[in-house]
Amino acid sequence: MNGVFKHSTFIMISPAVALIGVFIFVPMALTIWLSFHQWSTQTGFSSARFIGLRNFEDLFSPLSAGRDFRTAFANTAIYTTLSVAIILPLSVLLGLLVHQTRVAGGQALRTVLFSTYMVPMIAVALVWSKLYSPSEGPINQMLSWIGIGPQLWLSSPNSALVSIVILNVWQQIGYFTVLAIAGLTQIPTSLYEAAKIDGANPLQEFFGVTLPLLKRTLLFSTVVAVINAVQVFEPVALITQGGPANATNVLTFHIRRVGIERAQGGLGSSMAVMLMLSLIVVIVLIFALARDKGETR
pLDDT of residue 5: 47
Can you tell me the distance from the alpha carbon of 123 to that of 56, in angstroms, rounded to the nearest whole number?
37
pLDDT of residue 7: 58
pLDDT in tens, 49-64: 999 999 999 999 888 8
Rounded to the nearest angstrom, the gap between the alpha carbon of residue 208 and the centroid of all alpha carbons in its chain is 29
**Number of helices and strands in the chain (H, E):** 15, 2
Contact 240, 164 (CB under 8 A): yes
- Asked if the bond preceding 244 is cis, omega within 30° of 0, the reply is yes
pLDDT of residue 13: 74
Can you tell me the distance from the alpha carbon of 256 to that of 273, in angstroms, rounded to the nearest whole number?
13
pLDDT beneath 70, residues of the chain: 1-10, 101-107, 293-297
Can you tell me the distance from the alpha carbon of 223 to that of 68, in angstroms, rounded to the nearest whole number?
27
Domains along the sequence of the chain with CATH: 68-296 (1.10.3720.10)
pLDDT in tens, 111-125: 777 788 888 888 888
pLDDT of residue 113: 74
- Pick from 82, 106, 104, 85: nearest CA to 94: 106
Using CA atoms, how far residue 37 sits from 52, 246, 261, 278, in Å, is: 7, 27, 18, 21
Contact 177, 98 (CB under 8 A): yes
- Pick from 122, 121, 128, 173: nearest CA to 154: 128
